[in-house]
Amino acid sequence: MTVLNSPVQPPPVKHAQIQELDSAIVRFAGDSGDGMQLAGTQFTNASAILGNDIATFPDFPAEIRAPAGTLAGVSGFQVHFSRNDIHTPGDSLNTLIAMNPAALKTNIKDLETGGILIVNADAFGPGDLHKAGYKSNPLDDGSLKSYRLIKVPINVLNRAAVSEIKMSPREADRCKNFFALGLVYWLYERSLDPTVRWIKDKFAKNPAVLEANIRTLKAGYNFGETTEALPVHYRVAPAQIKPGKYRKITGNEAIALGLVAGSQLSNLPLCYATYPITPASDILHQLAGYKRYGVRTLQAEDEIAAIGMAIGAAFGGALGVTATSGPGVCLKSEAIGLAVITELPLIIIDVQRGGPSTGLPTKTEQADLLQAMFGRNGECPVAIVAPCSPADCFNMVFEAARLAIGFMTPVFLLSDGYLANGAEPWLIPNVADLPKINIKHPTAPNGNGNGQAPHFLPYKRDSRLVREWAIPGTPGLEHRIGGLEKEDVTGNVSYDPQNHEHMVRTRAQKIANIANEIPPLEVKGPDHGDVLVIGWGGTFGSISTAVERCQRKGLKVAQAHLRYLNPMPKNTGAVLQNYRRVLVPELNRGQLRMLLRAEYLIDAVGLNKVQGKPFLVSEIEEKIEQLINDKHGKVTMRVDGKLMDEFVDDAGNAN
C-alpha cells in the first residue's frame, strides 16, 4: 500500500508545448495478447493517483488468445480522465493507440476527427494488413488524413530499449505495451512512478523482465519528449472532487469489499460459494485472498452446488453469498425458490452479460431484470437491488446484506459487465461511519402455547412479517425447514389451501414491506417537466451526462435512477406522474419499462440497445430531444394533484 498526496508532480518537461485540457479520452487497442488491458489499467491508476476523475471501459474478446492479428482478437481499454466530475468512459476518443491493423480497423470509427492516432508502424506488413482485411496500407493510402497520424516503429524502438538485457526476441517483444504506455504518459503528462512501482512488485522474481519493462516504459516516455512528431502535449489537472482519501476501484472489487464490510458489520462470517463464470470470477479471486478477514470461499462443482452451499451456510448462521452471471442464475433458480420458502437470508450476485444462453460472455447487457423478478416457479418474490456505478457496487452489496438479514430473504444484486470491469475513484468510507447490521439469533423458545412444552416456531413473525433466524447448535430451538409449503407460525408441512394462499401473500407482503426501509427515489433536475429519464444499473453515467447536457440547453428534463428494483421506492409512482413523458433507456428490450407500465400504468417510452455495449451519451441525448419535440403520444400527467390527459396519437412506443 502506498499513500500519496495528490497531486503527484509529473516529471519536468523539456521543450514541447503544453496545452491544458478539461478532460481526455484515450483508448489502447491491440491483440488480446498484446497487454492492452494491462496498459489501460496502469494508465488508469496513474491518472487516478494524479487526482483526475476517471471512468474506464475495458472491452475484450471471450477467447483468451484469438488468432493473432485478426479482427476477432482485438482487445481495447478506454480511459476517460478529467478535471471535472465525469460519469462515463466517453463517446468518442481523443487519442487512439493501435498496435496493429486489426486494432486500427475495429477502433478507428470511434476516434474524433482531428484526433491523435498513434500506430505501431512495425505491425503493418503485408501479412498483418491481409489478416485485418486491408487491401492497401491505411498508413500510406491517405485514408487516415482526417486524423493526426503518428507512426511509431514500436517493435524496433522497444527492441533497442531492451537490447542490453538477456532475453529472447519473443520475450523482448512482449514488453512493447510498456513502450506505448510510456509514450502516452508523456503525451498526457502523467508520472511513471506508479507503474514503475507496480512493475517492481509484479516482476520481483524475474529481474530481466522487470528491468526490460522499466527501460522500455522510459524509452517510450523519452521518445515522446524528443520526437518532433508530437509538438504538443497535454495536461489534465486534478479534479475538484469531494475531499478525502481515494482509491481506484472496479465494480467487482467494490463488491468484494462491500461483502467483507457487510460481514464484519453484521458480525457474521462470510461464506462465498460460487462457480467460475465471466464476468463474475474476479470477485472470487479477490475474496479468496481474504482468509484473515474470516472469509470462506467455496469453489463449487457447479452453479447449483454453489447456491446450495451458500444456503446451507445461511442456515448455519453465516452471511451466505453466491455470484454468477445470467446462465448461472438459470441453474440456481430452483434453489432461490427454496431460500424464498425457507425464508433464509441470501445474496445472489448476477454480473449480467449478453444473452441468451452463453451469449456474449465478456460484453455487457442488462437483460436479466425480469429473470431476477420472475424467473422461478410459483409466486416467488425476492428483493432486487442494482448499483449504478463501479464504486456504488460497494454501497449496494452492503444494502443487499442489510436487507437479506433484516428481512430473512434472498436479495438479488444486479451488476453487469460494464460495472464489473469499469473503474472509477472511490472515496474510501470511514469504517466508523458505516451502519451496523444488527441481528439477534434467538436463544429461547418462542412457543409454549396449547399445553405444549416450550418449543421453537420457525414461522412466527414480527410486525414486519420477518421470522426469527434460529441457528443449529442452539439447545431447545431444534426445528425443521424445507421446500414443502409450511403452516405459518408452526412450520409444519401443510397442504391446506387457505394456508397456502396466506403464505403466498405473506411472502409477497414481506418483500413489499422492504419499501418502508429504503430511501426514496431521488430526482435530479426539475420536479415537474417535459421528460423524466429513469434508468437502473450501469446506464447511470450515460443517462446523467445526457440529462445534464439537456438541462444546460434549457430543456425541462430530470433524471431518476432506481437502485432498488423490488420493491421500488414508495414515491416512484408519484415521481413518474410529474412529467409529460417518461423515457426508460435500457440495455435490453424494455424490461424496466415493462415493470413500470404494469405497476404504475404509465405510458413510458423505451430507448433500447442490445449490442453488448454501453450507451453513448449522444444516443440518450438525441432521444430526449426527440421526445421533447414529438408532440404525439397519449400522456398522463398530474397537474396540481389532478390527473390530466393530454391526448394525441400513440407513437411513442416504436422503440
Partner 1 sequence: MATTTPLLTLTAKELASDQEVRWCPGCGDYSILAQMKKALAGVGVPREKMVFISGIGCSSRFPYYMNTYGFHSIHGRAPTFATGLKACRPDLQVWVITGDGDGLSIGGNHLIHCIRRNVDLKIILFNNEIYGLTKGQYSPTSRIGTRTKSSPLGSIDNPLRPLSIAIGAEATFVARTVDVDINHLTETLRKASAHKGTAFVEIYQNCKIFNDGVFEYATDKSIKADNTLYLEHGKPLIFGKDRNKGIRLHGLDPEVVTLGSGINVDDLLIHDEKAEEPSLAYLLSRMVYPRFPECVGVFRNVERPTYDDLLNQQIEEAVKAKGRGKLDELFAADDTWVVQ
Q: Considering only residues 406-465, where is the footprint of partner 1 by CB under 8 A?
A: 428-429, 431, 434
Of residues 33 through 62, those in contact with partner 1 by CB under 8 A are 45, 48-49, 51
Q: Which three cell numbers stand for residue 509?
A: 407482503
Q: Which is nearer to partner 1, 235 or 296 (CB)?
A: 296
CB of residue 293 vs partner 1: minimum separation in angstroms? 4
Per CB under 8 A, 605 contacts partner 1 = no
In the three-class reduction of DSSP (H, G, I as helix; E, B as strand; rest coil), residue 522 is classed as coil
Per CB under 8 A, 397 contacts partner 1 = no
Q: Which three cell numbers stand for residue 620?
A: 440518450
Q: Which of 335, 419, 546, 568 binds partner 1 (CB under 8 A)?
A: 335
Of residues 211 through 270, those in contact with partner 1 by CB under 8 A are 238-239, 241-248, 257, 260-261, 264, 269
Contacting residues for 532 by C-beta, under 8 A, at least 6 apart: 523, 557, 558, 559, 560, 575, 576, 578, 579, 581, 582, 583
Of residues 367 through 386, those in contact with partner 1 by CB under 8 A are none
Determine whether 269 is exposed, middle or buried from the number of CB atoms within 10 Å of its CB (0-12, 13-18, 19+). middle
Per CB under 8 A, 164 contacts partner 1 = no
Per CB under 8 A, 125 contacts partner 1 = no
Q: Which is nearer to partner 1, 275 or 412 (CB)?
A: 275
Determine whether 632 is exposed, middle or buried from the number of CB atoms within 10 Å of its CB (0-12, 13-18, 19+). exposed
Part of the chain binding partner 1 (CB under 8 A), chosen from 161-169, 206-214, 471-479, 605-613: 471-479
Q: Which is nearer to partner 1, 241 or 610 (CB)?
A: 241
Q: Which of 127, 316, 378, 454 binds partner 1 (CB under 8 A)?
A: 316
Per CB under 8 A, 290 contacts partner 1 = yes
Contacting residues for 339 by C-beta, under 8 A, at least 6 apart: 307, 311, 314, 346, 409, 410
592 closest CA partner among 571, 608, 611: 608
Q: Which is nearer to partner 1, 168 or 377 (CB)?
A: 377
Kindly determine how many residues on this chain lie close enough to bind partner 1 according to the rule CB under 8 A: 80
Contacting residues for 571 by C-beta, under 8 A, at least 6 apart: 520, 521
Q: Which is nearer to partner 1, 384 or 470 (CB)?
A: 470
Quick one: DSSP state of residue 355? Answer: -
Per CB under 8 A, 398 contacts partner 1 = no
Q: Which three cell numbers stand for residue 323?
A: 455470484
563 closest CA partner among 588, 539, 591: 539
Q: Which is nearer to partner 1, 42 or 572 (CB)?
A: 42
Q: Which is nearer to partner 1, 8 or 38 (CB)?
A: 8
CB of residue 268 vs partner 1: minimum separation in angstroms? 10
Part of the chain binding partner 1 (CB under 8 A), chosen from 308-316, 496-504, 566-574, 646-654: 308-316
Q: Is the peptide bond before 356 cis (omega within 30 degrees of 0)?
A: yes
Part of the chain binding partner 1 (CB under 8 A), chosen from 162-170, 461-469, 472-480, 579-587: 472-480
Q: Which of 196, 293, 446, 610 binds partner 1 (CB under 8 A)?
A: 293
CB of residue 491 vs partner 1: minimum separation in angstroms? 10
Q: Which of 11, 294, 359, 447 binds partner 1 (CB under 8 A)?
A: 294
Per CB under 8 A, 318 contacts partner 1 = yes
Angle 58-13-172 (CA atoms, 0-180°, nearest 5)? 50
CA distance 369 to 260: 25
Instruction: Judge contact between 411 and 242, C-beta under 8 A.
Output: no
CA distance 102 to 69: 6
Provide the edge-to-edge strand list for the sheet that holds 529-536: 523-524, 557-562, 529-536, 579-586, 605-608
Of residues 479 through 508, those in contact with partner 1 by CB under 8 A are 479-484, 492-493
CB of residue 6 vs partner 1: minimum separation in angstroms? 4
CA 424 to chain centre: 10
Determine whether 487 is exposed, middle or buried from the number of CB atoms within 10 Å of its CB (0-12, 13-18, 19+). middle
CB of residue 38 vs partner 1: minimum separation in angstroms? 16
Q: Which is nearer to partner 1, 261 or 628 (CB)?
A: 261
